[in-house]
Amino acid sequence: MIELDPRTREQLAEVRELGRTYMRPMGLESDRTGDPPPADHPFYLLCSRQGGLVSRVLGENERDEDGAALTWKPLRALLTAEESAYWDRGVALSLPGPGLGGAALRSLATPEQRARFLAPFADHSRARWGAMAMTEPGAGSDVARIQTRARRDGSDWRLDGAKMFCSNGARAEWVVVWATVDPALGREGHRAFVVERGTAGFELLKIEHKMGSRGYETASFALDGVRVPAENLLGGESKYRTREGFRGAMATFNLTRPLHAAQGVGMGRAALDHALDFVRREYPSQGRRRQRALEKLSAIRRELETARLLCLHAVWLARRNQPNTLEASQAKLFAPPVVFRAIAAALEIAGEAGVRNDRHLEKLYRDVKILDIGEGTQQVQRLVIARQLLGLPREA
């Protein structure tokens, strides 16, 4: 049994209230309009003034009694990811904070770089975002195929290429951009750079209009002769000997895949609660239809609990700085189909009342697809798990 500290319990209660008051309505509105909430939405300023919800989850602006910065709190991050996605996964991903870029910093950056790029998130006068750009038009799940080039140019680096599906990229203070010094080197050529907002040649191409998860922006960029100072190379050049760049990218996923899966558990819980409310309302007395529905929902509940336990195991290992590649991929592989079944079962039980496009269930049905794709497709997870079980070097 997990014993939660008082601060985590308080934070989950805060997320629950913010979700009920702001996140669910904002998500439904974004789904209706097709546009994410604007960066100056009052909710984001509220989150920042309350201490920066995401930054507090990740420990970027928390201090101990001696004033030292606290480390990342994997369990708190996971539980918060689940609870916020229960209300709306898209809006949850749009919350101010360092985002996936923060995970890359924790995996690769020097202490000086972490202090430099994360310190602004302790200033709560306005909302701030960070982001990470890895996916390219020709490099999605197979990140080894990255083509964005990084060339040394005097004391700087020059970046040329294109990136897509960058969450919160258009509003970010900085974006961690993955590039290669030579595509022929494969994974050994990978490097990660922090590109700051306003850097010449870093051009926003468009914000995607998506089928689901419309509560956060997904940006595409072009990099045309972008000059980046050498001190913005995460970890310094010595970090990238013997494929350290690729390992850093994969370590980032080992931190974020369990959170991604936990978001799915939150979505599955939301569908389950919708279905239970429908059964209580429409089938108040015992009968065959009520019994069939409850049997189906009880099976879904068991599967969601199993998915949550897989996520908890993965972050339990991360919390102790132990390898969790296998466990992170198992959580990511198991959760999405479970969540899909939960939402499909809820729609089946609700019938016509569930498929109307002004209802939350119909939205969940479109939102759930990203769980299969994001953080590495299900095919990639099977490959990772198989190679781990066989004791082979990791290639995905």
Lowest mean pLDDT among 61-65, 101-105, 155-159, 310-314: 61-65
CB-based burial, 350-378: b 16+ in 10 Å, e otherwise: beeebeeeebbbbbbbbbbebbbebbbbb
Nearby residues of 84 by Cβ (< 8 Å), 6 or more positions away: 15, 19, 23, 91, 92, 95, 263, 266
Same domain, 203 and 316: no
Number of separate domains in the chain = 3
Burial class (CB in 10 A: 0-12, 13-18, 19+), 223: buried
- What would the pLDDT profile of 201-232 be if each residue is shown by its tens digit? 999 999 999 999 999 999 999 999 999 999 99
Domain final residue, candidates 192, 225, 240: 240
CATH number, domain of 172, equals 2.40.110.10
Q: Which of 181, 211, 240 is the endpoint of a domain?
A: 240
Q: What is the pLDDT of residue 20?
A: 95
Q: What does pLDDT average to over the chain? A: 87
Is the domain of 165 the same as that of 188?
Answer: yes
Which has the higher per-residue pLDDT, 240 or 360? 360
Task: For 5-38, write each residue's pLDDT tens digit.
Answer: 888 888 899 999 999 999 999 999 999 999 999 9
Is 217 inside a domain boundary? Answer: yes
Model confidence over 374-396: pLDDT tens digits?
888 888 889 889 988 888 765 54
Residues 253 and 346 in one domain: yes
Check pLDDT > 60 for residue 313. Answer: yes
| Domain that residue 141 falls in | 131-240
- Whether 170 and 150 map to the same domain: the answer is yes
Same domain, 309 and 285: yes
- What average pLDDT does range 50-59 have in this prediction? 57
Reported confidence tier of residue 264, pLDDT bands at 50, 70, 90: very high
- Residue 145's H or E segment, with its range, is none
Which domain CATH number covers 94? 1.10.540.10
Q: For residues 165 and 146, what is the distance between their CA atoms, to the nearest angstrom?
A: 14
Tens digits of per-residue pLDDT, 352-374? 766 765 678 999 999 999 999 88
Per-residue pLDDT at 63: 43
pLDDT over 90 (residue 177): yes
C-alpha–C-alpha distance, residues 178 and 176, integer Å: 7
The proportion of the chain whose per-residue pLDDT surpasses 70, expressed as a percent, equals: 87
The CATH code of the domain that includes 254 is: 1.20.140.10
Structural domain ending residue among the three candidates 196, 220, 240: 240
Taking alpha carbons only, the member of 216, 197, 219 closest to residue 207 is 219
Q: What angle do CA 129, 130, 134 make, to 5 degrees?
A: 140
Q: Which of 62, 136, 327, 375 is catalytic?
A: 375
State residue 342's pLDDT score: 96
Lowest-confidence pick of 42-51, 81-90, 330-339: 42-51
Q: Does residue 1 lie within any of the structural domains?
A: no
* 55 and 11 housed in the same domain: yes
Tell whether 101 and 18 lie within a shared domain. yes
Mean pLDDT of 226-240: 89
Residue 248 and residue 386 in one domain: yes
Asked if residue 274 and residue 222 are part of one domain, the reply reads no
Q: What is the pLDDT of residue 140?
A: 66
User: What percentage of the chain carries pLDDT values higher than 90?
Assistant: 58
- Do residues 165 and 75 share a domain? no
The answer to whether residue 231 sits within a structural domain is yes
Structure confidence at residue 255 (pLDDT): 78
Is there a domain that residue 71 lies in? yes
pLDDT above 90 (res 160): yes
Whether 119 and 13 map to the same domain: the answer is: yes
**266 and 377 co-located in one domain:** yes
Task: Between 67 and 259, name the one with better pLDDT.
Answer: 259
Instruction: Tell whether the model's pLDDT for residue 281 goes beyond 70.
Output: yes
Q: Say whether 375 is catalytic.
A: yes
Instruction: Answer whether 212's CB lies under 8 Å from 176's CB.
Output: no
Other beta carbons within 10 angstroms of residue 116's beta carbon come to 16
Inside any domain, residue 396: no
Domain-located, residue 345? yes
Confidence band, pLDDT 50/70/90 cuts, at residue 107: confident
Q: What is the dihedral of CA 14, 99, 119, 50, to 10 degrees?
A: -20
> In a 3-state reduction of DSSP, which class is residue 222?
strand
Q: Does the residue 302 lie in any domain?
A: yes
In a domain, 395, yes or no: no
pLDDT at 68: 38
pLDDT at position 66, please? 40
